[in-house]
Structure 1
Amino acid sequence: MKFLWTTIHVKNMEESLAFYQNVVGLKLMNRFNAGPGMEISFLGEGETKLELICSEKFHNFNPGNGVSMGFKVESLDAALNMVKEKGYEVITGPLQPNPHVKYFIFLDPNGYKVQFAEQS
């Protein structure tokens, strides 16, 4: 079995695409209409794929407390500065649970937890 992608429902496709492209750094791979009032976008390359679904039917959703997406960064300090400059609030960290990893967590425009982690 091979992992294909993570799907999240979003309130606003343009805002979500801007976040995942400009803050997280994922490349838009495909974007299409999937029927009346529904649009789907796929982002990421290689093993990391994220599917965004924006539908008029799903505007009342809860992103969930147990869901988070982690992305590797080269410099946690640089990522932290960039996130703060773009106006996103860090809700956890930075933390270093062991000598080889440090991370922080902030929320995307839809309320999903996004973790940036530096690994050594």
Structure 2
Amino acid sequence: MLIKLNWITLRVRNLEASLGFYHDLLGLPIQRQFESRGRQIAMLGTENETMLELIEGSESVLKKESGVSIGYEVNSLEEAMERLAALNIPIVRGPVQPNPHLRFLYIADPDGFEVQLAEHA
């Protein structure tokens, strides 16, 4: 049996605010946006990779203390930090370098979910 991670779902309060963060600020492409059972849904990410599914108005939005985070690879953590500063997106934690081959930091999305930006050397 072959198994592949297709998407990760975040239940968000405001889809437009989340799209502003993930699409407009971080640059994730919107693959599709639709309504299902009265809920607005957007799928973001690059083709052939794990997607991020955002569902608006769900009754249970995770608290940031839940331990859930999403990690994205960046080419340069320095460039990412410059872009974050230019966009006034605060760094929540980091940068951290647990070994010579990995550096990362965390930012928060509009619902408080932690988003890790990591650079592998």
Asked if Structure 1 and Structure 2 have the same fold, meaning a TM-score greater than 0.5 normalized by the shorter chain, the answer is yes
Tell me the residue number matched to 1:63. 63
Query: What TM-score results when the alignment is normalised by the length of structure 1?
Result: 0.89
Instruction: Output the amino acid matched with 2:89.
Output: Y
Equivalent AA in structure 1 for residue 82 of structure 2: N
- Does structure 2 retain, via aligned residues, the 8 Å contact 1:70–1:115? yes
1:40, 1:54 within 8 Å by CA — same for their partners in 2?
yes
CA displacement 1:23-80 (0-9 Å, x = unmatched) = 22211001001133x111101122221000002x52x633343111111111101111
| Unaligned runs of at least 5 residues, structure 2 | none
* Alpha-carbon shift at residue 88 of structure 1 (Å): 1.8
**Number of equivalences:** 117
**In structure 2, what is the equivalent of residue 85 of structure 1?**
86
Superposition RMSD on alpha carbons, in Å? 1.4
Match of 2:9 in 1: 7
* Secondary structure at 1:81 match in 2: helix
Is residue 5–residue 50 contact of structure 2 (8 Å, CA) maintained in 1?
A: no
What TM-score comes out, normalization by structure 2 length?
A: 0.88
Runs of 4+ aligned structure 1 residues displaced above 3 Å come to none
Determine if contact 2:11/2:62 at 8 Å carries over to the other structure: no
Structure 1: give runs of 5+ residues left out of the alignment: none
SS in 2 for 1:90: coil
**1-side partners of 2:118 and 2:43: how far apart?**
22
